[in-house]
Structure 1
Amino acid sequence: MKKIPLLIATTNKHKAKEMLSFLGDLPFKFLTLNDLKNVPKAPAEAGKTLEENAILKARYYGEKTGLICLANDTGLFINALKGWPGVISARVGTSGKDRRDRVLAKMKNTKNRQAEFRAVLAIYDPNAESLHTMGGSTKGKITKVPGFDNGFDYDMIFSVSEKNKIYSEMTVTEKNAVSHRGKALIKIKYLLQNIYCAKHIVVPVAIIIKNGKILVTKRNDPHRPEYHERWEFPGGSMEMGETIEENLIREASEEAGYIIEPLEQLKQIYIKEQRYPTWSYQVYLIPYICSISGGTGRYNDAEVLDARFIEPEEMGEMKFVDKNEAMFKKFLPELKQLIKKYHL
């Protein structure tokens, strides 16, 4: 499967490594600004909040490159300094050492060393013009003496309260488990999976038999011409917590107006795949032979244009939705045996 390019808007190799340890198993081709032939000039981070700056960067690089873009903004908020350096954490000095020295100088005679690291991640898709943000925070203390330099400005002076350990002394795995960015990244990961990763949809299909004939319905779906006015078997996707049998009973009632009794699942499951530029899905069709125990047969005209019972031989004379006809031809021999077995 072709991977979708996703730009991580950073030139910091340490930050990229940290983020990819979370996101690397997703089906994207990850790029950083260092991978671009022509790197856009960095935008001015004029936002008053971390969220504003993360959004600003994600939109800017996304629109400049045409790529889905992930940007972040982080800040160190120190209680005794009324939240300073906060939103301007990355811009209070000329280097990482300069920034740390300024913090330690301001905190020199301060007993209250409580602080909080905060992060906001923004993901922007210029093609869909969609924007999402996620945040995370971690409480800790400012140390009096710097620890190991791991490439992040403030990590060597921030001790995480729950671990009693300095950020820079943690492995990437340890840090991602407790860090402000890690807490935001796991939310972004689930978001990316939900939006862009392949969906797997289970659809039980009711093969409803009456007097040896099979119920088929004509689909009402004018916004999708490839499905509209084509015949199919009653069925629909599973709802959360629903069993196959419960789904069949609900769908047959909603679509066809019949109360049914699911009898037996046919052996083969049929898979339909659909791919689009930024997302894809697979539908698993599970055919199930059913009998009628009640109902009026009054179908739902919002979903169905017509419904009728047909002989198996009539299938070839009707236009069916996609996999329905091929599926029927494959399970027909087994279906005929089950019709005899259940005296349908």
Structure 2
Amino acid sequence: MLEEKRQILIATTNEGKFTEIKKFLHDLNFDFLSLKDLKNIPEEPEESEKTIEGNAILKAKYYADKTGLMSLADDGGIFVDTLDGWPGVISARIGKDAEDRRKVLLEKVKDIPEEKLTASFKAVSALYNPDKEELFLAYGERKGKVLKEERIANGFGYDPIFYLPDLNKTYSELTTVEKNATSHRGIALNKIKYFLADHFSNKHIVVPVGIIIKEGKMLISKRNDPHNPRFHGKWELPGGSMEYGEKLEENVKREILEETACKVEIIKQLNEIQVVASTGKNFNYQVYLIPFVCKYIESVGEINDTEVMETKFVNLDDLTNYDFIEKNKEFLINLLPEIREVINEMSS
């Protein structure tokens, strides 16, 4: 069954900006909404901060608080070097609409030689998660120059007069894909994209586990995890998640030694792999349990009591008498025929 996508509010009513952002983030597993998609659109907050960073944070928190949705807001502007960065943070407020704002800027620079009209487009994207009161900021900057004549194709805002010498095009002459690949907003959004993918995408965790055999009995361990009542005090097979660059066999021997102080010899990887799916608040994850039958060699110390309360060797027929973590008992029962077969091979 497909999971329901989490919603993220892109806090804008500007269709051009929304399309640009949504296209950039579309392959993430979220449902992206604009303010126009809401039944009740909150009144716009006053952008009272003195920096684009401050305004981005203000808007992201404001809309998240009003809607309860994780909210992505940005603020940006065009910073003209010869005008000491003007209009900068007030770029969106020097005229009644985009066309008027371009006229105001062009009037301001009409007597300045074009070669001196270097400028930067800067953006700050703010992502605010109201569930965790967590804020993530991403910065982007693209250098170019201001043209005195508009080149109108696509785009919005100052796009028709922001020229990129390296591409010989204005922002407005780029496709959405081209603009996202090079623009100030694209640079910031790329960082947002990686943050979302890292923090909210589904996780896949590979855990090799040891079926340790000694004189026909199997070692099981009782989990010590007091902060997680689902697992604390329940039985399981020793094992843990992979370290970077580690092989499965290396992992299972290391984890067994660290948890139980047992040295083992790996005999065989069994055919069945158990997949355990869990749902978290911010992401879902699947654990893949990969079983290895191991021969007990010796104990070289004490168990790791921060992870394990106790260990014991038990008869295979008695496994059903123990309270295992979630579906581990069912997993072991399904493995028993193959485990017995390997034990017989070990004894012969």
TM-score (norm 2): 0.95
Taking only aligned residues, the RMSD between alpha carbons, in angstroms, comes to 1.5
Q: Which amino acid aligns with 2:95?
A: G
> Residue in 1 aligned with 2:205?
201
What are the Cα deviations for residues 237-276 of structure 1, in whole angstroms up to 9, with x where unaligned? 1122222122112211111112233332111111111113
After TM superposition, give the deviation of residue 308 of structure 1 in Å. Answer: 0.9
Per the alignment, do residues 149 and 92 of structure 1 end up closer, same or farther by CA in structure 2, a change over 3 Å counting?
A: farther
Residues of 2 paired with 1:242 and 1:161: CA distance? 48
Matches within 5 A, 1:27-106: 27-106=29-108
CA contact (8 A) 1:139 1:161 kept: no
- Return the match for 1:133 from 133, 137, 143: 137
> Residue in 2 aligned with 1:260?
264
**Secondary structure of the corresponding residue to residue 207 of structure 2:** strand
Q: Which amino acid aligns with 2:316?
A: P
After TM superposition, give the deviation of residue 277 of structure 1 in Å. Answer: 4.2
**Secondary structure of the corresponding residue to residue 341 of structure 1:** helix
% identical aligned pairs? 49
Structure 1 stretches of 4+ with a deviation exceeding 3 A read: 292-295
After TM superposition, give the deviation of residue 46 of structure 1 in Å. Answer: 1.2
> Residue in 2 aligned with 1:335?
339
1:145 aligns with 2:149: yes
> Residue in 2 aligned with 1:23?
25
After TM superposition, give the deviation of residue 161 of structure 1 in Å. Answer: 3.6
CA contact (8 A) 1:218 1:231 kept: yes
Residues of 2 paired with 1:20 and 1:294: CA distance? 58
> Residue in 2 aligned with 1:117?
121
- Return the match for 2:289 from 278, 281, 285: 285
Per the alignment, do residues 216 and 156 of structure 1 end up closer, same or farther by CA in structure 2, a change over 3 Å counting?
A: same
Q: After the TM superposition, which of the residue ranges 237-246 and 214-223 deviates more from structure 2?
A: 237-246
Residues of 1 paired with 2:274 and 2:259: CA distance? 21
Residues of 2 paired with 1:68 and 1:76: CA distance? 27
After TM superposition, give the deviation of residue 149 of structure 1 in Å. Answer: 4.7
After TM superposition, give the deviation of residue 220 of structure 1 in Å. Answer: 0.5
What are the Cα deviations for residues 91-116 of structure 1, in whole angstroms up to 9, with x where unaligned? 11111112112222222223312111
**Secondary structure of the corresponding residue to residue 301 of structure 1:** coil
CA contact (8 A) 2:154 2:175 kept: no
Which 5+ residue runs of structure 2 have no aligned equivalent?
none
> Residue in 1 aligned with 2:160?
156
CA contact (8 A) 1:231 1:318 kept: yes
Q: Which amino acid aligns with 1:278?
A: N
What are the Cα deviations for residues 37-84 of structure 1, in whole angstroms up to 9, with x where unaligned? 111111111112211111100000000111111111111111111111
After TM superposition, give the deviation of residue 341 of structure 1 in Å. Answer: 2.7
CA contact (8 A) 1:121 1:135 kept: yes
Q: After the TM superposition, which of the residue ranges 55-64 and 250-259 deviates more from structure 2?
A: 250-259
- Return the match for 1:275 from 272, 279, 292: 279
Aligned length: 344
Per the alignment, do residues 160 and 338 of structure 1 end up closer, same or farther by CA in structure 2, a change over 3 Å counting?
A: farther
